[in-house]
Amino acid sequence: MLILVATIIGLALYAQLPDPMPSHWNAAGQVDGTMPKFWGIFLLPLMTAGLTLLLMVVPGLDPLKANIAQFRGLYNAFIVGFVVYMLYVYGLTLAAALGYNFNMTLTLLPAMGLLFIGIGYLMKSAKRNFFIGIRTPWTLSSDYVWDETHKLGAKTFMASGVVILISAFLGENGIWLMTAALLIAVFVPTVYSYILFARQEKK
């Protein structure tokens, strides 16, 4: 329903939108790429619909689907949050095409921060599976390694989300802080999963 409403809004603005439309922005938030108006209106809603369908289908394909069922309600809430994030990007794209002047990168950062906080919150409840979460050879081999890694991953992702929110107020330098936060959020739990696995093997 959200995707359909967003697409209808895009079509309602068709006559006011330029051809081509802005489609890509550099780190400074300035337009550095365009696409034909047709794709400017339809591409992002179609991508969002496709990714949403994939996210909904994936749990049924997982051999460990019973584990996913234990946190499926939270996972479904995350899917809705993901759709809202993508449509926020779509709304900003339409606004930029209509001539509104703003820094795209800095305007995106708060929403990206909230998205990562949501991912971290999901990780707290995620059980071992092959599609959702921090899937390393070590987490997939052990429920203990999975659970402990995701306890840490929840903290690093939520912390990175807070850092990204703060980076929105730091101008162009905020993009580098965001990048560092994301790298740490991913790298630290990955290394930790191996350390836990190695300790377990020694025992």
List, for residues 103-136, the tens digit of each pLDDT value: 888 899 899 999 999 999 999 999 999 999 999 9
Please give the residue range of the domain that contains residue 72: 2-202
> Which pTM value belongs to this model?
0.88
Residue type, 35: M
Is-contact 34 20, C-beta < 8 A?
A: yes
Tell the residue number behind the tokens 């689907």, with chain if given. Answer: 65
Ramachandran area for residue 127 (φ above 0: left; ψ -120 to 50: alpha; else beta): beta
Angle subtended by helix axes 2-12 and 72-97, to nearest 10 = 10
How many distinct structural domains can be found in the chain?
1
Name the percent of the chain lying above pLDDT 70.
100
pLDDT-derived band at 61, boundaries 50, 70, 90: very high
Contact indicator for 153, 92 with CB cutoff of 8 Å: no
